[in-house]
């Protein structure tokens, strides 16, 4: 086994930029203030040019109008959802985030409202006319191209080809949501599908002028997830990106590092972190706020037909819950007296605020940590 490369630790974040904010107010309202700031034509114009690389004035003007329309409507739906009870709030939350998804999609596809995708959810669920829902076996379907697809494309910065229909199990989606990890285990008496990433960093070799990602994982955590080192490496590597297991002085941890460092060219105008964007997308890390920092987790998606981002997983669950409100209130009423309610209620009470922050990260392409004092 190779020894770990030596380099200066320069920190790790999911986006090219990172922001630490302190607030004495409401965390959700702080996030909303940031998102609603984009309703200002001047602010939105600057963000579109500097962050999203937009140059054509007419195109920018169209996107600015779309941002203002969809963000304003999204906020109204969100406020209604916060004051509603659990038997109705998921529907309002979903329509809030549907509007934010359309706003993001319009950045990638200007005049998005002229596309067929604008008028389709891109995801569906059909209630049974005979049986009540069973969270353990329930599935939702990715269908014809819609907002679900364009939202994922915005995050991945590429077009996605997904077979219609592609089934997603609701239980699998819940298994990778950090804020309800304990509720998932209590509900299904099974291990959640998240592995905490430890000591993740970007290392810089000043002499060779290259950078790479390095992190460690507890041996016991990998074992509990039924993953061997080769299987784990296979999950985070592809034809163009690979990681390797290197020697560790800690008997409790495995250390992994990027096999081929990225070179920093003298004439490069890129942020150093942006050199590793492809590698970060390959890792597909999830995050969860803890004391003074965001904790990173690897989501084991072996049972998923396609790899999903943390934003897409939460968004998909909200779609399903909103569909229950709309099409199957009898099942929703039954769920409140079932063992599944601790999981669903935990999601409804915690996940919208965290999903909102993920949308803010996408608008500004900046990872933000908000500390409330």
Given a cut of 70, the residues of the chain with pLDDT beneath it are 267-270
pLDDT at 370: 86
* Residue among 99, 155, 159, 151 at smallest CA distance from 123: 151
Phi, psi of 17 (to 5 degrees): -120, 155
pLDDT value at residue 267: 58
How far is Cα 42 from Cα 57, in angstroms, rounded to an integer? 12
Per-residue pLDDT, 270: 65
**Roughly what angle, to the nearest 10 degrees, separates helices 310-327 and 341-364?**
130
Q: What local confidence, expressed as pLDDT, does residue 237 receive? A: 87
- Cα dihedral 321, 326, 328, 330 sign: positive
Q: What is the reported pLDDT for 170?
A: 98
Q: For residues 333, 335, 337 and 343, what is the CA-based torsion angle, rounded to 10 degrees?
A: -130
DSSP codes, 324-371: HHHH-HHHHHHHTTSTTHHHHHHHHHHHHHHHHHHHHHHHHTEEEEEE
Encode pLDDT of 108-142 as tens digits: 999 999 999 999 999 999 998 899 999 999 999 99
Predicted confidence at residue 292, as pLDDT, reads 78
pLDDT in tens, 260-280: 999 998 756 567 888 999 899
* Token pair for 156: 């991945």
Question: Angle 337-349-87 (CA atoms, 0-180°, nearest 5)?
Answer: 45
For the chain, what percent of residues have pLDDT higher than 70? 99
């Amino acid at each position: 086994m190779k020894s770990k490369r030596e380099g200066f630790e320069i920190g790790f974040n999911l986006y090219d930029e990172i922001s630490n904010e302190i607030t004495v107010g409401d965390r959700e309202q702080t996030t909303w203030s940031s998102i609603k700031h984009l309703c200002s034509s001047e602010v939105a114009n600057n963000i579109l040019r500097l962050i999203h690389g937009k140059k054509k004035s007419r195109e920018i003007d169209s996107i600015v109008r779309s941002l203002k329309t969809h963000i304003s409507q999204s906020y109204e739906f969100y406020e209604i959802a916060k004051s509603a009870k659990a038997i109705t709030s998921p529907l309002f939350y979903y329509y809030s985030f549907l509007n934010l998804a359309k706003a993001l999609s319009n950045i990638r596809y200007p005049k998005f409202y002229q596309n067929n995708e604008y008028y389709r959810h891109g995801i569906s669920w059909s209630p049974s006319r005979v049986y009540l829902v069973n969270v353990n076996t329930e599935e939702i379907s990715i269908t014809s191209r819609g907002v679900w697809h364009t939202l994922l494309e915005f995050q991945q910065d590429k077009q996605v080809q997904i077979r219609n229909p592609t089934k997603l199990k609701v239980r699998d989606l819940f298994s990778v949501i950090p804020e309800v990890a304990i509720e998932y285990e209590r509900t299904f008496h099974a291990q959640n599908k998240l592995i905490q990433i430890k000591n993740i960093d970007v290392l810089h070799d000043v002499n060779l002028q290259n950078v790479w990602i390095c992190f460690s994982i507890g041996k016991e955590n990998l074992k509990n997830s039924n993953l061997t080192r080769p299987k784990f490496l296979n999950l985070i590597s592809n034809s163009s990106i690979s990681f390797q297991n290197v020697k560790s002085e800690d008997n409790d941890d495995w250390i992994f590092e990027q096999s081929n460092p990225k070179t920093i060219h003298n004439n490069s105008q890129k942020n150093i972190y942006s050199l590793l964007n492809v590698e970060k997308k390959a890792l597909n890390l999830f995050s969860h706020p803890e004391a003074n920092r965001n904790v990173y987790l690897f989501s084991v998606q072996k049972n998923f037909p396609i790899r999903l981002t943390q934003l897409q997983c939460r968004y998909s669950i909200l779609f399903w819950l909103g569909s229950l409100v709309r099409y199957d209130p009898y099942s929703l009423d039954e769920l409140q007296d079932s063992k599944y309610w601790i999981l669903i209620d935990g999601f409804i009470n915690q996940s919208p605020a965290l999903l909102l922050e993920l949308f803010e990260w996408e608008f500004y392409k900046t990872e933000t940590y908000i500390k409330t004092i």
